[in-house]
Structure 1
Amino acid sequence: MQHNLVITKPGKKDIVGKAADKMAADPNAATLNYVPQMSDVLFATPILNPDETYSLKFTAPSKPGEYPFICTFPGHWRIMQGVMIVK
């Protein structure tokens, strides 16, 4: 099964996840890696297949807070999620 990693702005997980749900009906969604094109998305990986790896290098946000991360592959974001804490 395929997966990705999308880091969102604080408090925006549900908005990004629901936007990803709507993308599932779009025939071009896979070419966008199921990542909604919106300012609430801070960082994202491409879709990865099993046994593939990807390094995501970024500068952590300067503002302290809890930054949610989710998998936006269709049907995944409600279960596949976590939080990056910036202090």
Structure 2
Amino acid sequence: MISKLEKPLNVNATLSVLLNELGEECETVLFLLTQLKLPNLTDDQKGDILAELTGAVCHLHVHTENLPDLIADEIEALPDDGED
């Protein structure tokens, strides 16, 4: 996947892992959405894609539940530049 080839994120290790996993899952969702746009999908193909999409969306929901708090912690850990 593309995200594996990029430089590591400049955040704490836990947040980095979670954000990389989020990126991978988002890539999966985008791929599945592209598949749904293909012409002449059979009902079975459409059902398979929708089932995979459901799983990916559920995973995103669970995966991101505490992510805003981890991002906020990372922001709070930044030095206060510009304040005298």
User: TM exceeds 0.5?
Assistant: no
Structure number with the higher helix fraction is 2
Which one has a bigger Cα radius of gyration? 2
Higher strand share: 1
TM-score by length of 1: 0.29
